[in-house]
Amino acid sequence: MAVNLPPHYHDADARYKKAKTAEEKLVALREMWVLLPKHKASEKVQVILKCKISELTDEIETAKSGPKKAAPGSFKFTKQGAGQVVFLGPPNAGKSTLLSKLTKASPAIAPYPFTTREPIPGMMDYDDIRVQLIDLPPITADAYEPFITDLTRSADAAVLFLDLADDDGPAATQATLDRLKAARRMPVPELPADDDPTTYYLRTILVAAKRDDEAADIRLEMAQEWIAASGFPVVILSAETGAGLPELRKAIFDSLKVQRIYTKQPGKPADLAAPFTCPVGSTVAEFAGYVHNDLEETVKSARVWGSGAFDGQTVGRDHILREKDVVELHA
Ligand SMILES: Nc1nc2c(ncn2[C@@H]2O[C@H](COP(=O)(O)OP(=O)(O)OP(=O)(O)O)[C@@H](O)[C@H]2O)c(=O)[nH]1
Ligand SMILES: [Mg+2]
């Protein structure tokens, strides 16, 4: 699908390319954002523009607030697996313990706050796919590592922690949310159809952690009102006993809004060992782009086995694929 860009968009784009300062670039990018037609064909351009606007806004604010603490880009994690999910929460809530149970990572864990100082990645298995989890340092009203702004921008979703072993759990988690909002990071149950490109919305699951604590049930009862008001989907779990962990693995996968697609070569059985993942609702052409960049343009048709009535039927580029379809691409 072609994006029909209005002529003024190209003028703004030219100004963006000539701009020398971050401020000038931001002005031009904002104009481009306003002028860009918002529909499916322009989705990729929308994502790129949003990302640039957010990066520049952050850059300008960081420059204003004095010299940088960390070297820029010092904590960039190449995306691996079906998506990247960050752990957000107050100190001592059990974030690192959970990472150690869901992945092979072995972060430091201690019965006192501020144990984690740097982001720690790990790969979580879910059925036949893997999801990248990143444990972060705690966030409070006063503690916020600047690299969290970058890491939350690149993440696909988040897990927010509520500590059921702490009487002040809801207040501490609310403080995490408030601090993130101050950095224009907005954990939300579902992404809004919002037009504000400077705010980064992150689809988020709430984990009520340490349900094995003897007073966890009472604290959960007391937190119900806060949880209901937040609107987040909740998984109640104990990293210690393992209760709730299978539910969380599934909830994390679901939060990514991706689907598994298995590929096959003509005349050969499907490769069921290593599925590709692509966003839910992807067409044959979009999926082909995930298999190989060039294929998005060159793919002409596909044979599809799986969803509904499809048993090897030939479909066109615009056919929408479903979870666990087997696809043979024809260029
Ligand atoms: N009872 C119980 N204790 C837990 C559970 N998960 C973690 N803990 C304990 O809670 C304390 C803090 O755990 P961490 O995993 O270090 O917490 P954190 O959120 O990573 O802490 P920071 O790095 O300071 O933000 C440790 O003493 C853990 O053993 C759980 O499921 N049940
Ligand atoms: Mg930790």
From 101, 109, 162, mutation site for ligand 1 pocket: most ligand atoms within 8 A of C-beta: 109
- Residue 109 makes CB contacts below 8 A (sequence gap 6+) with 96, 97, 100, 115
**What is the whole-number distance in angstroms between the Cα of residue 209 and the centre of ligand 1?**
9
For 192, counting Cβ atoms within 10 Å of its Cβ (0-12 exposed, 13-18 middle, 19+ buried), the class is: exposed
Is the CB of 111 inside a 6 Å radius of any atom of ligand 1?
yes
Q: How far is CA 48 from the centre of its chain?
A: 15
**Atom 25, ligand 1: which residue's CA is nearest?**
91
d(CA 53, CA 198): 6
User: Measured in angstroms, how far is the CA atom of residue 93 from the centroid of ligand 2?
Assistant: 8
Tell me what pLDDT residue 309 has.
65
- Rounded Cα distance between 153 and 51, Å, is 8
CA–CA gap between residue 174 and residue 192 (Å, rounded): 20
Distance CA 112, CA 58 (A): 31
Select the CATH number that applies to the domain covering 258-330 from these four: 3.10.20.30, 3.40.50.300, 3.20.20.70, 3.40.50.2300: 3.10.20.30
Structural contact between residues 133 and 99, judged by C-beta atoms closer than 8 angstroms:
yes
* Residue ranges with strand state E in 136-254: 157-163, 185-188, 200-209, 234-236
Question: What one-character DSSP code corresponds to residue 110?
Answer: -
Residue whose CB lies within 8 A of the most ligand 1 atoms, among 88, 96, 97, 99, for a mutation test: 97
What ligand has the least distance to the C-alpha of 165?
A: 1
Using a 6 Å cutoff on CB, does residue 239 contact ligand 1?
A: yes
| For ion ligand 2, residues whose CB falls within 5 Å | 95-96, 115-116
What is the spatial distance between Cα 317 and Cα 302, in angstroms, rounded to a whole number?
7
The one-digit pLDDT tens for each residue of the chain (331 residues) are: 567 888 899 999 999 999 899 999 999 999 999 999 888 888 888 988 988 898 888 888 777 776 555 455 468 888 889 999 999 999 999 999 999 999 999 999 999 999 999 999 999 999 999 999 999 999 999 999 999 998 998 899 999 999 999 999 999 999 999 999 999 999 999 998 876 778 889 999 999 999 999 999 999 999 999 999 999 999 999 999 999 999 999 999 999 999 999 999 998 988 888 899 999 999 999 999 999 988 999 999 999 998 766 788 999 999 999 999 999 999 8
- Of the listed ligands, the closest to the CA of 92 is 1
Q: Does domain 84-256 have CATH number 3.40.50.300?
A: yes
User: For the chain, which residues make up each domain, given as ranges?
Assistant: 7-64, 84-256, 258-330
Ligand 1 touching residue 100 (CB < 6 A): no
Q: What SS3 state is found at 283?
A: strand
